[in-house]
Amino acid sequence: MAMTTLPETLVASLQMLRRRAYTALELTNHCLERIQSVNPDLNAFLSVSDDYARQRAAAVDTLYETFPEALGPLAGIPISIKDLIDTSFSKTTYGSQIYRDFQPQANATVVNRLEQAQAVIVGKTHLHEFAYGITNENPHFGPARNPVDRERMTGGSSGGSAASVKAALVLASIGTDTGGSIRIPASLTGIVGYKPTHGLVPVDGVLPLAQTLDHVGPLTRTVRDAALVTDVLTGAHGTSQSLFAALDQAAHTPLCIGIPQGLIDRFGTAPVKRHFASILGFLQEKGLVIHQEEIRFDENEVATHQGNIQGAEAFAVHQARLQAHRHLYGADVLERLETSGQVSAQEYIQSLTFRTVFQRVIEQWFVNLDVILLPTTPVTAPKLGTEYIDIAEGTTHIRPLMTRFTNPWNLSGVPAISIPAGTIDGLPFGLQLVGGMGRDAQLLRIAEQVERCLAERNE
């Protein structure tokens, strides 16, 4: 069968594969041909494993014909991997000139789990250098471009992953998120990006940015797709802990929601604030939201302590590498690491203490709340090269601004997901939903309910 378009969702594609509407090899070839055609302009992939992917797909097809009972939960599904995650079959650059030709000896645990699930990994995606940035403008590999408007940013640092899903080059991608690096590009490109509860997905074999803040998670087209991929990453598929199975449990409505209105008012651009207000009004009109209350915290304090922890841990990762290869770092990442090296041990310990207190505050919020809602980013996708953004307080640098709505949930470790929620002047708007610690199943159920409700709004 000659494929002309990729199925709308990963779950739909699995159903078609099982019906043998097309083979895994046909699906993989379609994706590889799309990558060959589109990637020179998009720059979503840093490397493509054509032969390896075709071999994997052919092996899946053999199983379909001879032993279908042995098929894994992602059998035949083309997936991309952020190039921060080790793969033994393909070089892993970490977005760095230093590692341009580095070949890991072993796969990251999440890669092994994807392969055990018989996913077809087609390549490694573009990222901000060492995942330490939010624009994906990489001095060594050029910028990743947004499929919605190729003069605009994907956001980062999992920007290539987001672009590969949005442009229908793959059905899912695996990214990392330390301050928003899955959710920000998901928002700017108009897809789903999910950061599970900290520690739910293993990070061994993933180059750390800041170990106590790092998360691994999926970028997909739908919440349901994200749940299925996460089950594979956690090893929960087919168990009582399955997030995918939990989606079919009884709906939890209407919702009591928390809104960090002060944070939104202070850092959101006017179009984003208006659009968010209209989304809230629609959800209330549809009866999905019955009660909302404002949640308050000191935004500057949260940003400072998250920055201290991230900076101190990132500098510890890079200190020896900086001494040996300082000249091979890009200017923006070098500057951030030099600043990070100034965080004292006392400041780091104080920030760890603050995190514990903040986690308790959030736990108290969720005594009465089902979910927290806010925009994922303060602005829609900026043009490539943008350094400063105008907000109510004045002009601010893009780097700290873009993580204002995402980094509180990295600091605390609670689960958060960005889902598409319409457009502003043709550019995607991401709605972020935040759950209580360990309440990933509840969060994804709510996210799918909101996703379905918003589909009516966008019709």
> Active-site residue numbers?
82, 157, 181
Task: Return the structure tokens found at 363.
Answer: 């736990």
Containing 34, the helix (H) or strand (E) segment is: helix 24-42
Cβ(257)–Cβ(291) below 8 Å: yes
Contacts of 350 (CB under 8 A, 6+ apart): 305, 308
Which of 311, 309, 293, 288 has the alpha carbon at shortest distance from 448?
288
Strands 137-138 and 78-82, by their bridges, are unpaired
Cα Rg, the chain, nearest whole Å: 21
Distance in angstroms (rounded) separating the CA atoms of residues 439 and 324: 43
Q: Is 287 exposed, middle or buried (0-12, 13-18, 19+ CB in 10 A)?
A: exposed
Distance in angstroms (rounded) separating the CA atoms of residues 316 and 31: 39
Distance in angstroms (rounded) separating the CA atoms of residues 191 and 418: 8
Cβ(111)–Cβ(81) below 8 Å: yes
Q: Is 66 exposed, middle or buried (0-12, 13-18, 19+ CB in 10 A)?
A: exposed
Cβ(379)–Cβ(403) below 8 Å: no
Task: Return the structure tokens found at 413.
Answer: 């470790």
Q: Write out the DSSP string of 279-301.
A: HHHHHHHTTSEEEEEE----HHH
Distance in angstroms (rounded) separating the CA atoms of residues 118 and 127: 25
Distance in angstroms (rounded) separating the CA atoms of residues 414 and 419: 17
Cβ(48)–Cβ(32) below 8 Å: yes
Containing 208, the helix (H) or strand (E) segment is: none
Cβ(96)–Cβ(327) below 8 Å: no
Cβ(401)–Cβ(184) below 8 Å: no
Q: Is the dihedral of CA 79, 448, 268, 298 positive or negative?
A: negative
Distance in angstroms (rounded) separating the CA atoms of residues 196 and 414: 7
Helices (H) and strands (E) in the chain, counts: 16, 17
